[in-house]
Each structure stands twice: as C-alpha cells, then as structure tokens.
Amino acid sequence: MHPDPSFRPKQGDLPALFVREIAFAGIFAGTPDGPRVAHAPVVLSDDAATLQFHLARGNGLTKHLEGASALAVVQGPDAYVSASWYAAPDQVPTWNYVAIEMEGVIHKLEVVELVAQLDRLSAQHEARIGANPPWTRDKMNPVRFAKMAEAITGFEMRITAWRSTLKLSQNKAPDERERVAAGIEASGHGALAHLMRQLGNR
C-alpha cells in the first residue's frame, strides 16, 4: 500500500467494487519452501467479510493454506506517467495504478462449499458475458464434474484488513491531473484515464 494518504479511496465501498469487478487475485503466503503466490478467480461475500477461491491440488500453496495468514491482491488498471506531461518543472516519471489488498486467515472448504463456490462463480460470470442460456454444471455428466472437482481445493479467507491504493495523481493540481489523464488516455490506457477523471477530484 502506498504510504501517501492522498491515494486512499474516499468511497468506502469502492475497494469491494473493484474486487467484484476484476474477480481475480494473487494469493500470497509463506510456506516452508519460501514465499509463494497463486493466481485464482475469487468470490467476495455480499458483506465483503470473506473471500473464496480454489486452487489445483498440485499447486505449491494448496497444502500450506489451512490456518495460514495470507494476503490477496487484486490489481486494477495501471500506466506509466511521463514527467513531460507536467507543466511544472523538476518532475520525475511515475506510475499510476489501482491495487486492493486483503489480509486474513484461510481455512479449507468442505466439498459442498466448494461446489457452491463454483456455482456462484460461474453464475456471476455467465451473467456478465450475457450467455443465453448460461452455462451451469447441470450440463455436465455428474460423475465427470465430481472427478474434476476432486482435482481442486476450495478455500475461504476471513478478511481482517483491507489496504487499498488508488494512485490517480490526486496529489497534483487539477490542471496537471488532467494533462496526465490525457497523456495516459493517448497512450492507450483509457480505463485508467477515466478513473482519474471520475475519482481524482473527490
């Protein structure tokens, strides 16, 4: 998390919104083999208190996560900021970005909880892509589904801390911020430029 408090989101529900929209995270934890990270789709609970995910049984983190403290990181849009975009002199290049961190203790899910997670995950994303009819596991042979589910392990993190950084040039004057947004947009990062314009002044 960036130490400058200017880059903390003022909208309390914004971090959870990013997690739900991006829905993919890096899961970091220490293991006897050293630090490890896994990358997984995630499901945030309605009250934003828990984060569920699943990993392949053979993943280097899977056997170490039960009861472990871990960090889940969701990355939003990011882009290089050229110092030449500033009118003020003596500036340096930097990077604008969005990153949401969630910390908590992880426990393993029972099979029925894992299946519920998979159902919720597919339902959310089938709706997002507008699938009609949406895919459901009812379209699979139950024996085949059960065999595939055996190859993964479900987990839930009870979130004890949120740490969020929205570095959108909020520490710059409005005219400088707009120049940076225009430069970022011209360099092909329209989503980040839009965020800067929508959130940077609030």
Domain assignment present for 47:
yes
- pTM, two decimals, is 0.92
Per residue in 118-142, pLDDT (tens digit) is 999 999 999 999 999 999 999 999 9
Domain assignment present for 12:
yes
Burial 175-187 (b: 16+ CB within 10 A, else e): ebbbbbbebbbee
* 8 Å CB contact between 22 and 75: yes
Domain count across the chain: 1
Per residue in 46-59, pLDDT (tens digit) is 999 999 999 999 99
For the chain, count helices (H), then strands (E). 5, 6
Owning domain of residue 30 = 5-79+93-172
Domain assignment present for 190:
no
Q: What is the CATH number of the domain that holds 161?
A: 2.30.110.10
Domain assignment present for 179:
no
Per residue in 80-107, pLDDT (tens digit) is 999 999 998 899 999 999 999 999 999 9
Domain assignment present for 22:
yes
Specify the DSSP element, H or E, that contains 72.
Answer: strand 69-81
